[in-house]
């Protein structure tokens, strides 16, 4: 392998190994060596969030329907995720990783890109940093990670996946990258999912080499995405590591899946109120306001629909989001519903000086009065103190449990 890095940047991709499952095994060593599946329970609706490598031997994988996972691995140990715990561990990990990066880009709780060009100085320095990250992650957090060191983001991600679990792999140059993947299936490339791979396969484009040899066809089939793939197939990727900032989000939403289909749309409206408060809470953390409202439904036949509406003003108010989402709900076919979601889009950070104009549309006093009225009415219907426990309901686990309680105790209006 050529170890002369003349690309101008050195990027590390760190990816934890079966993160949720590994945290649970760390905290309960009795789970070690057993097929552990984190996500929904077998009798519930939902999917696998992640699973241990022992479970993967049975064909279980992330995003798999939980019923299919149980069919393949009935002897598995099934657990709900503990997101508060995972977020706390994630903060520990990022405190370690960021030590070595000029810029870090957090992709998820367990994954990040690190630009180590300055700290490393050369390829040997990058190799030393990669090894240090692995060792400190194990010593200080008690978990293993896989590290890829490369000249680009695409190559770094490929490298971290090359030798999982607890792997370390280097791809110093574009030539090394192409040599590694040239005769692999097109699905090896980042952003090529199942449907894209199928479309390419049907056109006779099976491998990365085929992409190189049929660039015009790939672009005709996939447009802008195809143009990107023709570049990556030659190892070209000059994207920079860009810090993730929650305030740069284009949309915020929250959704829940019911354990049994919901037929009464008055119950859906009650659930939309809780979702609206969850969205308001997240928007408020980053001073975000949206000019559009979205409603998402998945019916019992798995058909998903979405409805949206642009507003003449920007908002972060749960009352406004709820009111608009309910109006959108009244426009859809009233079939049994499996999932409901609500959100804001066209987001921007609000400025205090713009609030006078905002008050023309949303009087703060009126909103506060409506907020109290809605929560009091919801609490009365279900015998729960929603107003006093919103902070808990913002948490995913509590939200799902509350919604299920509401579904079981709903008596109509």
Q: Is 111 a residue of the active site?
A: yes
Cα dist. 12→125, 144, 162 in Å? Answer: 12, 16, 13
Retrieve residue 262's tokens. Answer: 């919901």
Q: Is the Cβ–Cβ distance between 235 and 214 less than 8 Å?
A: no
Half-sphere exposure of 195 (CA within 13 A, CB side): 3
Query: Strands of 11-16's sheet, edge to edge?
Result: 103-108, 111-115, 11-16, 145-150, 168-171
Catalytic residue among 54, 68, 91, 111: 111
If one counts every other C-beta atom within 10 angstroms of the C-beta of residue 58, the result is 17
Q: Is the Cβ–Cβ distance between 301 and 215 less than 8 Å?
A: no
Query: Which residue is it, tokens 């959100």?
Result: 343
> Residue 113: in which H helix or E strand, if any?
strand 111-115
Q: Tell me the DSSP string of 180-202.
A: HHTTSBGGGSTT--HHHHHHHHH
Catalytic (active-site) positions: 111
């Amino acid at each position: 392998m050529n170890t002369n890095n003349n690309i101008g940047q050195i990027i590390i991709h760190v990816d934890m190994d079966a993160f949720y499952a590994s945290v649970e095994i760390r905290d309960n060593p009795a789970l070690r060596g057993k097929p552990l599946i984190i996500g929904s329970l077998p009798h519930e609706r939902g999917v696998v969030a992640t699973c241990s490598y022992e479970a993967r031997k049975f064909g279980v994988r992330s995003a798999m329907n939980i019923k299919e996972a149980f069919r393949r691995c009935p002897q598995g140990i099934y657990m709900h995720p503990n997101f508060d715990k995972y977020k706390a561990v994630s903060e520990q990990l990022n405190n370690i990783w960021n030590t070595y990066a000029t810029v870090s880009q957090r992709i998820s709780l367990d994954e990040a890109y690190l630009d180590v060009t300055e700290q490393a100085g050369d390829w040997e320095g990058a190799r030393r940093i990669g090894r240090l990250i692995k060792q400190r992650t194990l010593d200080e957090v008690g978990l293993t990670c896989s590290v890829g060191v490369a000249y680009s983001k695409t190559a770094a991600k490929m490298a971290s996946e090359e030798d999982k679990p607890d792997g370390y792999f280097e791809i110093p140059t574009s030539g090394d990258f192409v040599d590694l993947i040239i005769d692999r299936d097109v699905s090896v490339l980042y952003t090529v999912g199942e449907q894209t791979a199928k479309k390419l396969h049907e056109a006779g484009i099976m491998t990365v080499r085929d992409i190189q040899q049929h660039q015009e066809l790939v672009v005709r089939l996939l447009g802008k995405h195809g143009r990107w793939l023709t570049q990556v197939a030659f190892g070209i990727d000059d994207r920079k590591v860009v810090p993730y900032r929650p305030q740069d989000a284009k949309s915020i939403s929250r959704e829940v899946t019911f354990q049994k289909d919901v037929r009464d749309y008055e119950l859906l409206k009650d659930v939309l109120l809780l979702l609206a408060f969850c969205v308001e809470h997240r928007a408020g953390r980053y001073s975000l306001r949206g000019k559009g409202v979205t409603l998402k439904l998945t019916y019992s036949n798995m058909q998903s629909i979405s409805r949206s509406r642009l507003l003449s003003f920007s908002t972060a108010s749960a009352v406004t989001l709820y009111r608009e989402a309910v109006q959108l709900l009244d426009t859809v076919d009233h079939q049994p519903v499996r999932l409901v979601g609500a959100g804001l889009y066209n987001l921007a950070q609000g400025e205090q000086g713009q609030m006078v104009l905002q008050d023309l549309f949303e009087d703060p006093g009126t909103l506060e009065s409506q907020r109290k009225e809605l929560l009091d009415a919801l609490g009365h219907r279900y015998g729960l103190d929603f107003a006093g426990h919103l902070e808990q309901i913002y948490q995913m686990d509590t939200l799902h449990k509350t919604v299920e309680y509401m579904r079981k105790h709903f008596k109509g209006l």
